[in-house]
Structure 1
C-alpha cells in the first residue's frame, strides 16, 4: 500500500469520525484507534528494507552490531511510544499519554547507557593521563 492509499485511509477515517462522533462517539473513537493501528502495521511492514540498509551501512563502517541494534531499538521505542501516546490523547486520556511518553524516555535512556559509556570511554582515551 502506497502513501496515497495511507493518506486516503486516514482522510476517510477522519471524515467518518466527524460524522459518527455526534451519533455514536464510542464507535467513532474505536474507528480512529483501529485506523491508527492499521496505518502503523502497514508502515512497520515497510521498515524491513530500511533495517537491512542500516545494518549493511553499519557493517561497511565497521560499527559494532550491538550499537546498531541498540540505535534501532531506540528508534522503534520512539515510534511505538508516539503511536501509543497519540492514540491515548485521541481518546481524551492525556495523563495516560504523558505516562507512556515518560516510560518510553526511561527505556530509551536505559538502552542508551552502553553507547553513552562507550562515548565517554573514547573521550577519556583521548585525554592525557593525569
Structure 2
C-alpha cells in the first residue's frame, strides 16, 4: 500500500465514520478500528525491506545480532503500544490509553537493561584503574 492509498483509505473511513456515528456509534467505532488494523497490518509487510537493510548494516558493522534484535523489539513495542493507545483513545478511554503507553515504556525499559549493562561495562573497562 503506498501513501496515496493509505491517506485515501483514511479519509474515506473518516468520512464514513462521521456519517454513521450519529445513527450507530458502535458500528462507527468498529469501522474505525477495522481500518486502523488493516492499515497497520499492511504496513507491517512493507517493514521487511527495512529489516533486511538493517540486518545487512549490522552485519557489515560487526554488531552482534542480539543487539539489533533487541533494538528492533524495542521499536516494535513502541509502535504496538502507540497503536493500541490510539485505538483506545479513539474509543474515548484516555485513561486506559495512558496506561497502555506506560506499559509500553516499562517494557521498553526492561528490554533496554541488557544493552545498558553492556554499555556501562564497556565504559568501566575503558577507565584507568
Structure 1 residue 95 displacement after superposition: 1.2
Match of 2:54?
A: 54
Instruction: Write the mapping of 1:28-67 to structure 2, written as runs, cut at 5 A.
Output: 28-67=28-67
> RMSD of aligned C-alpha atoms?
0.6
Match of 1:20?
A: 20
Q: Distance in 2 between matches of 1:81 and 1:55?
A: 24
| 3-state secondary structure, aligned to 1:6 | helix
Q: Distance in 2 between matches of 1:56 and 1:74?
A: 19
Gaps of 5+ in 1: none
Q: Distance in 1 between matches of 2:7 and 2:42?
A: 12
Query: TM-score, with normalisation over the residues of structure 1?
Result: 0.97
| 3-state secondary structure, aligned to 2:78 | helix
Query: TM-score, with normalisation over the residues of structure 2?
Result: 0.98
Match of 2:99?
A: 99
Are 2:86 and 1:79 aligned?
no
Gaps of 5+ in 2: none
